[in-house]
Structure 1
Amino acid sequence: MLTLEKFTGINNVQPAERLQATDLVSALNVDLGLSGEPRRRGGYGQLSDECHKNLYQADGFLLATVAGDLTAIHEDGSRVLLYESLGMSRLHYCALPDGRVAWSNGLINGVTDGRAATGWGVPLPESAGFAQAVAGELDPGPYLYQIAYVRLSDRLEGGSVFGGRLEVPAHGGVLLTGLPWREGFAINVYLSAAGGDQTFLAGCALGDAFSYLGKTATLVLPCRVEQAGPAPVGTAMAWWRTRALVAQGNVLWASRPHGWETFSRTRDFKQFSAPITLVQPVDDGIWVGTEKELAWLGGVDFDGLAYRRAMAAPVVPGSGVAVPGELVSLGDGPGQGAAMVCIAGGMLVAGFNGGSLARLSQERYRTSAREVAATFRVVDGIPQYIAVPQ
């Protein structure tokens, strides 16, 4: 029986005749000590025989899809069904500053506090109702109107939709009917001045009808939610410097600063040449992986991020994890600050603050995995990057 006293790592790149006595092509259930000594990896205990997938450890609860249902598992063992029949496809998560967790499978998204699941942001109205002129005190002329939902639980206003123009005669007013009322929301109504293009708050509707009969001069509070909307339904997500980041196809969206449930539909996005597979922020920039490249967006303000291609190779979905820089090699020593590790071009790479990139396994190990579930941990003082093919 072969006994290894010292192990220099996996090497599946060099041909067999060039391997050293301390090299192995593969190893199963093995951990390495700080001196390179191999030892059997610790086992596990089974807690449930149901299929658990998409595990995510949040603050105080664990999220998982259990037999296709999004479920929160609390520290006392209790379980809360959050979203039924979500399916077993990959879920992406993002921890939000208020303690909730955003989730998305590319078709459906939401947020949860471990007790209930809600939509991520305030929805857009599906229609703007019907408008007609009535008696009132408005100046004569064409009026533009739009509406927006307001969530009653926290008064958060969503994006607005336009309802067209209405010709109002002298001494006229505006009556809206058929408004898309929904439980838990009020409807803000905005009107322009006669012949104007900018709209101003006219009032708030708590049902499916609203009328404004006052003077045009009292319309003074402008609409601030044009072209806004809820979070796009995407894939890779992250939190970075007061903004939530969401990848949707080849577009990286950013929420409004400190407003992680509101996204602009006309700005605050970066477009790439291929579908995005990784979004991993560090202190002074964002590492973005796609099916064609690993890119560095340098800067501390989303609008001013500077793009640079760091590696012309595909990045494996699910492989990106945040790591402390001092636990990862950079050149002849450890890195500093925030860092990330992912699989790009079949090899393990590390990205650091400032856009520095280290190819950790370039000459020793390559993988053909196309999608993984990855994590980073420290066991007995030993940093471990674990990626399980999906």
Structure 2
Amino acid sequence: MNNTDDVHELAATRTTPAYLRDALNVDIDRNGKTKRRDGYKLLFSGRAHSLFGTAELPFGLVVFDGNLCWFDESEPPPVPLLPVDPDARMSYELVGDRVYWSNGLIRGVVRADKTIYPWGIDTPPAQPLLTTFSGGSMDGGRYQVVVTWLRDLNGDAGEESGAMRAATIDVADGQGIQLTSIPQPLDPSCTLIRIYQSPPNGDVLYSAATVPVGTTSFSLNKRTLGRQLDTLMLDRMPPGTIVRQYRGRMYSALGSRVTYSDPLRYGLTSRTRNYFDFPGPVLLLEPVEDGIYVGTDKQTFFLSGDDPRSFQLRPIDPHGTIVGSSCRALGDDFDLDYKGRVACWWNTNGNLLLGSISGQIVHLTRKNLSLPRYMSGASLMRESDGKKQLVSSMRHPRNAGFGAADHAVVQVIRNGVVIP
């Protein structure tokens, strides 16, 4: 397709096939010939958006009639997992056998067995009340005490919450510490409470006891202490309109802020340190091998590096990005020398871009295709009958129906050659 040149200049030459001014419901082969596109069948009807599917899972996810649902072709209609906001677009990220999801309001995890549970654990809002009692066995000094909540789900290693600043108490020789009003989690998947204490006059806290949820009081005496507390002053990862994993951390974009988790602790972050602020709402967040593409409504950036504490930020496109229009592919799909993961997205100038390693971008459609500024979009890579296609469905602001498409654009690659 070519809608930028004069119609009289679209004829074939010795080096290029003829261009089309428009193409509807057809595929184009490597010789420029068109073939009617295969049709489609109705799986189920209703209000649906935010589709997600991957080869690693035997089912897909979708927001359908106000519920997050799973579905496959053998099980229509979709099976509800959880009621969600029917208008909030969902973002997904597969890590291992789990899909992390969020719509900017709530967040959660769907496992390969279709069980669903919250993403992260809320931090206990307070510490227990501390008093001393006689007849104990503790050495005199000032003690610090902290509690956390734990989730132990079907044998998973216990996921632990963050912890607020410790409560302190002065203890005389031969006394003990009585904990009362131990805070209780509202999350039913949290089944344990862990109690930490410091040595007398110490600054580091160690595990002293683990008790079941429902325990509201507990007595501490001199005992052998266990593992060190390493979630102090950490908090639960916030929800995001985009969630992505990169180099062992989860990233969550909400408004103009991107928050990242602690390493390999996808549910925990530091609200005071682990974030980046951008000059506008973040609409694109796509990692590649050595960094992350970040797009706002006005500009697109590349964060390069392995560790967010040493990221280097640089602008790579003076145009904003269209929300939801990105997808991931492989450089091999586009006959690049680099064969690894790349990012594709539409910008506000009507162009489809490919982002490779080191912030290198390629404009895939700028020479021959210009689209209006759409409000939102969705993209995917598909392969059928030997053709790899990047398919984008774009929504114009004047379309009232959620997910309605004004235009579908297909980039066809055959044997590593981009077909105009």
The size of the alignment, in residue pairs, is 375
Instruction: Give the drift of 1:342.
Output: 0.5
1:242 aligns to 2:248 (yes or no) = yes
* SS in structure 2 at match of 1:238: strand
Q: Pick closer, same or farther for the CA change 1:75–1:227 going to 2, 3 Å.
A: farther
Q: Of 212, 218, 221, which residue of structure 2 is paired with 1:211? A: 218
The one of 2, 5, 11 equivalent to 1:10 is 2
Q: Amino acid of the residue matched to residue 34 of structure 1? A: R
Residues 1-390 of structure 1: matches in 2 within 5 Å? 9-11=1-3, 13-14=4-5, 16=6, 19-21=9-11, 22-58=18-54, 59-74=57-72, 76-77=74-75, 79-97=78-96, 99-113=97-111, 115-135=114-134, 136-153=136-153, 154=156, 155-162=158-165, 164-182=167-185, 183=188, 184-206=190-212, 207-215=214-222, 218-219=224-225, 221-328=227-334, 336-346=339-349, 347-367=351-371, 368-388=373-393, 389=395, 390=403
SS of the aligned residue for 1:318 comes to coil
Letter in 2 for 1:72: W
Q: Give secondary structure in 1 for the equivalent of 2:309.
A: helix
Q: Check 1:329–1:365 CA distance in 2 against 1; reply closer, same or farther (3 A cut).
A: farther
Distance in 2 separating the partners of 1:264 and 1:18? 60
- Deviation at 1:308? 1.7
SS in 2 for 1:364: coil
Q: Does the 8 A contact of 1:137 with 1:213 survive in 2?
A: no
SS of the equivalent of 1:259 reads coil
**Aligned counterparts of 1:315 and 1:81: Cα–Cα separation in 2:** 32
CA distance in 1, matches of 2:177, 2:58: 51
- SS across alignment from 1:128: coil
Alpha-carbon RMSD: 2.5
Supply the distance in 1 between the matched residues of 2:354 and 2:345 (Cα, whole angstroms): 7
Structure 1 residue 370, shift from structure 2 partner: 2.1
Residue 343 of structure 1 and its aligned partner are, at CA, apart by 0.9
Distance of aligned partners of 1:118 and 1:250 in 2 relative to their CA distance in 1, 3 Å threshold: same
More strand by share: 1
Cα-to-partner distance string for 1:248-283 (whole Å, 9 max, x where unaligned): 322323333333333343444333222211111112
Most deviating of 156-165 and 86-95: 156-165
Mapped partners of 2:388, 2:195: distance in 1: 56
Aligned-partner Cα distance in 2 for 1:179–1:366: 61
In 2, distance between residues paired with 1:257 and 1:290?
Answer: 26
1:311-338 deviations in Å (ceiling 9; x for gaps): 12111111111111122266xxx65322
Question: Mind listing any 5+ residue stretches in structure 2 that lack a counterpart?
Answer: 12-17, 396-402, 404-420
**Quick one: which amino acid aligns to residue 353 of structure 1?**
I
Cα distance in 1 for residues equivalent to 2:192 and 2:294: 38
In structure 2, relative to structure 1, the CA distance for the partners of 1:364 and 1:138 (3 Å cut) is same
Among the aligned pairs, what percent are the same residue?
A: 28
Secondary structure of 1:373's match?
strand
Whether the 8 Å CA contact 1:295–1:307 is kept in 2: the answer is yes
Shift of 1:307: 1.7
2:183/2:216 contact within 8 Å kept: no
Q: Which moved more, 1:376-385 or 1:337-346?
A: 376-385
Q: Distance in 1 between matches of 2:308 and 2:281?
A: 20
Describe the SS at the equivalent of 2:149. strand
Tell me the TM-score normalised to structure 2 length. Answer: 0.81
